[in-house]
Amino acid sequence: MLTKIFSASISGIDAIPVSIETSSTNGASFMIVGLADTAVKEAYQRITTAIEHSGLSWPHRRMVINLAPADIKKEGAHFDLPMAIGILSANGMMEGADLEATMVMGELSLDGSVLPVRGALPVAILARSMGLKRLIVPEANATEAAVVNNLEVYGVKSLGEATAILTNNSDISPTNIDTRRIFAESVDRFDFDFAEVKGQESVKRALEIACAGGHNILLVGPPGAGKSMMAKRIPSILPPFSMAEALETTKIHSVAGKLKRGSMLMTSRPFRSPHHTISPVALVGGGLSPMPGEISLAHNGVLFLDEFPEFPRTVLEVLRQPIEDRVITVSRSKYTVDYPTSFMLVASMNPCPCGYYGHPTRRCTCPTGAVAKYMGRISGPLLDRIDIQIEIEPVEFDAMASRAPGEGSMEIRQRVMLARGVQSARYREEKGIYNNSQMNSRLLHKYAWPDEAGMAKLKERMTRLNMSARAFDRILRVARTIADLDYSTRRNPDGSFCHTPEEVVAIPVSTAHLAEAIGYRNLDRGNYGTTFG
């Protein structure tokens, strides 16, 4: 007898369909074909024992399992459950089973229980796109997969429950989740709030600009100035997820196995903070079995690199292409996958090895040339790609001792969202452009070109500091964001806004906006230290 059931394999962050065909004939052998890896071939031992511990008898016949298409490598233990169901069905042990409209995934334990797997969300999206009626997954993955509408998602604890559902002998109901209600209730919840930050108004201003335009930012200051504290609060002032962004981000974390058991749609932007001992592969992704790296896990969120110069040069340099292209192509001899990398880079560092260069009250103990050598660990091309470079002064005692709360994250986020609304109106006809940091040369000339006075100021600064052409573009992008924040938040005496987003689109960048943007390039080569000490 020949049966067929659907499952899926993961490629990048998407799932591709795999048909599991099972043939049962006279004989006594077992074979899995279709480019299966070791974990799939070892399924024989798990399946036979699981079937016997589920109160069923192992059919002693010749069985061939084909995983089609045969030219795609099949990896992982999530094929255990569909292969076991195929074996039972092919041997007449599941009469009336509805396999044609069902997709199944799950790893089997020896006692017949079903263990959680990676990638349930992209598999659910695939099942719906194929027009299937039902998806059977481990119980721990049910809420994750159930965020996909118009698909019956059943979470099962055991092989017996899966067979009962397929033969209509089960009272288990599909997992139902009101995704939009839960998403709306959770999207404004923060673990950290800027109201807890004392002082540092200039730094908070720079972070607001960075979030408003999606710009990369570097924080430089002595130990204890609050660099990490403020960086952790950046997700709270970024615009809330759209449903499409939440789905895409959750897919990446699902494929990487980073979702907690029983979790569903991610509602807050990711904040990834890898240690400086991380390897290049762990940062960009790949490995023997391809997995997303930290830059992809930070997609649609924040990648925070603390102690920036302590990262190996080989690790930092791999960031250059993903920052520009917002996608990373991992090519190895046996596979090529694409991972999205549209993240906001936030880095922090001390001003020198001892940490006190330019400190107002403490003396730097570094030897001559140590500061330049320390900064030299960050290459010029990488520093060029960081739009905003802000120096942090220590917090004064009066500010630390004050009980008055600072401005909260919700107030800052409202201004950020107004500026992002302007950018949405500006780039609605531009494919792949969503914020000012993504502007190309054509859009810079159209929306961010300064007047003669502004161009003269920019020329003088760039000539004196020997800035690159990339720094020129970055300054214009930041200036455009400052203008968007300025004009989008201006109000009339009656409290109404002076401009609509559509009106702000056409308002040019002023010299004042350009001057502030130039002020955020204080760490460019030839200038470091002249304003800090």
Query: Does 123 have pLDDT greater than 70?
Result: yes
pLDDT of residue 526: 52
State the DSSP string of 52-69.
HHTT-----SEEEEEEES
Report CA-CA distances (Å) from 134 to 148, 161, 166: 11, 14, 10
Query: Does 525 have pLDDT greater than 70?
Result: no
Phi, psi torsion values for 329, nearest 5 degrees:
-100, 115
- The reported pTM is 0.90
Q: Return the sign of the alpha-carbon dihedral for residues 504, 509, 514, 517.
A: positive
Q: Are 121 and 105 in contact (CB under 8 A)?
A: no
380-392 core/surface letters (b: 16 or more CB in 10 A; e: else): eebbbbbbbbbbb
Cross-strand partners of 64: 23, 31
Q: How confident is the model at residue 530 (pLDDT cuts 50, 70, 90)?
A: very low
Query: Does 133 have pLDDT greater than 80?
Result: yes
* Mean pLDDT value across residues 151-158: 96
pLDDT of residue 528: 56
- In percent, how much of the chain has pLDDT > 70? 98
pLDDT of residue 524: 67
* Mean pLDDT value across residues 317-345: 90
pLDDT of residue 502: 92
More confident residue, 363 or 405: 363
pLDDT in tens, 55-113: 888 888 899 999 999 988 899 999 999 999 999 999 988 887 889 899 999 999 999 99
* Mean pLDDT value across residues 243-260: 92
Q: Which of the given ranges, 402-406, 467-471, 525-529, has the highest pLDDT on average?
A: 467-471
- Residues near 378 by Cβ (< 8 Å), separated by ≥ 6? 308, 309, 316
Residue closest to 351 by CA, chosen among 496, 234, 438, 224: 224
